[in-house]
Amino acid sequence: MMSATVTGKPEEPIVATKNYLTEEGITLRSWLLTRDHKRIAILYTLSLTFFFFVGGAAATLIRLNLVTPSGIFTPDIYNRLFTLHGIVMVWFFLIPSIPNTMGNFLIPLMIGAKDLAFPRLNLLSWYLYVGAGLLALFAIVIGGVDTGWTFYTPFSSLYSNGYVVLALAAVFAVGFSSILTGLNFIVTTHRMRAPGMTWYRLPVFVWSNYATSIIMVLATPVLAITLLLVAVERLLRVGIFDPALGGDPLLFQHLFWFYSHPAVYIMILPGFGVISEIVPCFARKPLFGYKFVVWSSIAISVIGFFVWAHHMFVAGISLYAGLVFSLLSYVIAVPSAIKVFNWTATLHKGWISFDAPMLYALGFIGLFTIGGLTGLFVANLAFDVHVTDSYFVVAHFHYIMVGGMVSAYFGGLHYWWPKVTGRLYPEWWARIAALLIFFGFNLTFFPQFILGYLGMERRYYAYPPEFQAWNIFSSAGASVLAVGYALPFFYLGWSLFRGKRAGANPWAATGLEWQTPSPPPTHNFDRTPTVTRPPYQYRPEPEPQDV
Amino acid sequence: MGSLQLLPPTASSHAADMDWLFAALLGVSAFILLLVFGLMILFCVRYRKGSRVERGNRLGRTWRVEVAWTGLTFAAFLVLYFWGAELYVRIHSPPAEATDIYVVGKQWMWKIEHPGGQREIDALHVPVGKPVRLVLTSQDVIHDFAIPAFRIRQDAVPGRYETLWFTPTEVGEYRLFCAEFCGTLHARMGGTVVVMEPSDFQRWLDSQDPGPSLAQEGEALFRSYGCSGCHGGTSTVHAPKLEGLFGRPVPLEGGRSVIADDRYIRTSILMPKAEIAAGYPPVMPSFAGQIGEDDLLKLVAYIKSLADRTAANSQAESMERPAQ
Ligand code: HEM
Ligand SMILES: [Cu+2]
């Protein structure tokens, strides 16, 4: 990857030989001991891609199993597959995805800083992440885990026959990686902004990573304690969650969702940030209602702490608790709606072009809107009684996390690819991939709403035959989706060697990150920039490139 | 391969209400979706790069627009909230005449006990048109009892009783599932709900192994576990009499009071010190770990059967008819 930027076709001029990919040398050692936030971002991207394919492989097998009502694998294999899928996708892909790759790369560039506040801590956080991921894979190789990613007790603490403690340890460790990243971003955003970069001149991407970091730092310790308690109960048989030993199974759910509901916002807020960068750029207009978008992120990160029990409407919480938590869930839906309206309004009277990042962003808005609206269904007390734990919920959270977050991830990847690598990718292929992902996604997950309403429960390796037709649609969609997700791997890889040189600012965008060469030098800026204008000062006619 | 079904059968008093709620949710969503998608597509076409449409003055100040759409969205959300909350409260408020049926989850089967002592596994027979209240618990891990055709589900949590009710409205057979992941055979933990005409149902009940009713078995256990030693009519220990207790408020030590329901009775057996009845010394020992889930259900059924008796006539009765 790194050598790509200096080779290239002989007739092409080598634009910037001095950049972060080459300056520190290209030895393995220089990469594994680097403290440059941009190199660490690359390390994250490579390892995250690996975990995405591991989780994706499990998803493919799951959908394969569900083509026939009787299933193909044994129940235990199937149960281990969806657990593997859930654990890897949630903790080793979604949570670190945008913050640790693009956040790491871009936050210092966007605020005009030379690096993050704590470069060594940043590297440590990557080692924790990779170590934890390998530990989780080790647990799977030696036998697997069958608890689902939620580890509900007393099943996980006493009844499961998998390698639960190893999996708990892996999630525990990766949690510390998030905490360190969150701390680093918060301090960096407070202390390292360039002169003139006031809070209201920060790009929304920085704001949403800031809001995400608050959640990471405040919520993750609760998860760590909860997992520790499950391990203690499992190893020492003391009664914490199992009523047979005098414990309380609902205590686990309260603790777990106290982390995990805010965590779903860790999985989506950074996506909002990416979309808020892309839409103004390709609509050539300032973001509509910048301050509202900023404060809705902050509102989400705060209210997100008060809705956890909406995952427990049928678990045996009191009627009164149900009424309160449902109301709060409706309250938190409002700031998400605000964002959708604002992105749409940004298009009004724009000068819109449909390059690949914009296609991903438009796809994101569509899928996230469906996911968010079905959030209103599951947040509804009575309706949740019928659909919770069914495929309706599976469809709902996939629309948000996969339709939303993964589309945003791909959108961001394409948008900043030229900045990161100095190369352009083949536009035509990128558009095809964006369309395939959008259609494949809907074909895969829309039938699951219907299946859920019909009564197909989640985590079933076999199901009644009357559900087969919709399952076949869903599996067919999954194969389209798989092709869509695999394509970028090839054409982006190709672009590293053959892609056209990008120049500093191929999209004529306004952010600070575009004012330094592509790829940027190790110290980011030759001269510390001074900021004099709010973000997103776009005009209809694109300005000439490389100003 | 099944056909493309769109709605599950509707076979309970809640099902139609749920479908209306679903329709309302769909309506609001469809409106927002059409609005967002419609505008997006419109803007994308009209304001595409190179189109020569007049772009005029762009909107500068935005806060009026923001306040308007935030307010409207929130108002629509509140309507949906109240609608769902009202139905949820109804699903959890059984009518007084509902028959209690006990459901115990166990890896990987549903054990069901009718008040007359009839038992079934992975099947539930109920008469059409009569309200039924389910009392659910589990013997091991958390399960979830789901009947899509009735639009109800509830977790069966070990160590707790949860309840929920329905009135079946259509004769027929419907599927019943476990919806909370509970281990290897989770997907196979299900069965059939059979809704019958009341006369057929009575015939079915009669054809089942009659056996002693839950309450009768509970009565025997009440003696064998030694409960009657303190709570019995002739006891000298100062313990509350249990006749007429069920369903009434019980004043507790410290001034609170609770309704004596299944949960309260169960807690009193397993954790007697948790809710001490006012005016009695806290001397009752805990039976946690000694009485299994099945026996607990029988004891609760027995104490429930005492609801309409007064201490005096039950004493007379038990003198006439000594225990079998
Ligand atoms: C914005 C990003 C969101 C993400 C990433 C997200 C993610 C998730 C996930 C992962 C679950 C499944 C949990 C499980 O394993 O059972 C879930 C369920 C749920 N979500 Fe969301 N969600 C989001 C938005 C919303 C919104 C806006 C609402 C409310 C208006 C909402 C309400 C719910 C409810 C009530 C459940 C529980 C459903 C149930 O268990 O029956 N979600 N969500
Ligand atoms: Cu079960």
B89 touches chain A (CB under 8 A): yes
Mean of all residue pLDDT scores within chain A: 91
Mean pLDDT of A442-467: 95
What confidence tens digit (pLDDT) does each residue in A223-282 have? Answer: 999 999 999 999 998 889 988 777 888 999 999 999 999 999 999 999 999 999 999 999
DSSP B210-278: ----HHHHHHHHHHHTT-HHHHSTT--S-----TT-TTSEEEBTTS-EEE--HHHHHHHHH-TTTSPBT
Cβ of residue A333 lying under 6 Å from some atom of ligand 1:
yes
Beta bridge partners of B156: B143
Contact B79, B169 (CB under 8 A): no
Q: How far apart are CA A71 and CA A63, in angstroms?
A: 10
What pLDDT is attached to residue B324?
34
If phi > 0 it is left, if psi is from -120 to 50 it is alpha, else beta; for residue A25 that is left
HSE of A57, CA atoms in CB hemisphere, 13 A: 7
Q: What's the half-sphere exposure (Cβ side, CA atoms, 13 Å) at A446?
A: 13
**ipTM score over 0.90, yes or no:** no
Write down the residue that tokens 């060697």 correspond to.
A497
pLDDT for B296: 82
Å between A187 CA and nearest CA of chain B: 31
Question: What's the one-letter identity of residue A466?
Answer: E
Using CB atoms, pick whichever of B63, B162, B181 lies closest to residue A459: B181
Mean pLDDT of A98-122: 95
Helix (H) or strand (E) holding B104: strand B99-106
Q: What is the pLDDT of residues A123-139, one digit of tens each?
A: 999 999 999 999 999 99
pLDDT on residue B230:
81
Best CA proximity match to B150, nearest among B124, B176, B113: B176
**Residue A450: closest C-alpha in chain B:** B6
| Burial (0-12, 13-18, 19+ Cβ within 10 Å), A530 | exposed
Q: Residue A501's beta-bridge partner residues?
A: A423
**Residue B131 near residue B95, CB atoms below 8 Å:** yes
Q: Can you list the positions of beta strands (E) in A17-164?
A: none
User: What is the Cα gyration radius of chain B?
Assistant: 27
pLDDT digits (tens), chain B, 324 positions = 457 888 899 999 999 999 999 999 999 999 999 999 999 999 999 999 888 887 777 666 677 888 888 889 899 999 999 999 999 999 999 998 999 999 999 998 999 989 888 889 999 999 999 999 999 999 889 999 999 999 999 999 988 888 899 999 999 999 999 999 999 999 999 999 999 999 999 999 988 876 677 788 888 888 888 887 788 766 677 788 888 888 888 888 877 888 888 888 888 888 888 888 888 888 888 887 778 777 888 888 888 888 777 654 444 444 444 333
Task: Indicate if ligand 1 lies below 6 Å from the C-beta of A336.
Answer: yes
Average pLDDT over residues A332-340: 88
Tens digit of pLDDT for each residue in A266-293? 999 999 999 999 999 999 999 998 999 9
Query: What is the three-class DSSP state of A144?
Result: coil
Work out the average pLDDT over A48-72.
95
Q: Which residues of A touch B151 (CB under 8 A)?
A: 385-386
**What b/e sequence results for B134-143 when a residue is b if at least 16 CB atoms lie within 10 Å of its CB, and e otherwise?**
bbbbbbbbbb
Q: Which helix (H) or strand (E) holds B22?
A: helix B13-46
Q: Which residue has the tokens 């890896």?
A: B107
**pLDDT level of residue A546 (50, 70, 90 thresholds):** very low
Amino acid at B53: V
Residue B1 near chain A (CB below 8 Å):
yes
B257-259/B249-251 β-pairing = antiparallel
Give the pLDDT of residue B304. Answer: 82
Q: Are A487 and A432 in contact (CB under 8 A)?
A: yes
- Strands in B108-259 per DSSP E: 109-113, 119-121, 123-127, 132-138, 143-147, 152-156, 162-166, 172-178, 190-196, 249-251, 257-259
**In terms of DSSP bridges, do strands B132-138 and B99-106 run parallel, antiparallel, or are they unpaired?**
parallel
Query: How many angstroms separate the CA atoms of A120 and A41, rounded?
Result: 13
Q: Which residues of A touch B138 (CB under 8 A)?
A: none
Q: Is the CB of A400 inside a 6 Å radius of any atom of ligand 1? A: yes
CB crowding B45-60: b at 16 or more within 10 Å, else e: eebeeeeeeeeeeeee
pLDDT of B59: 62
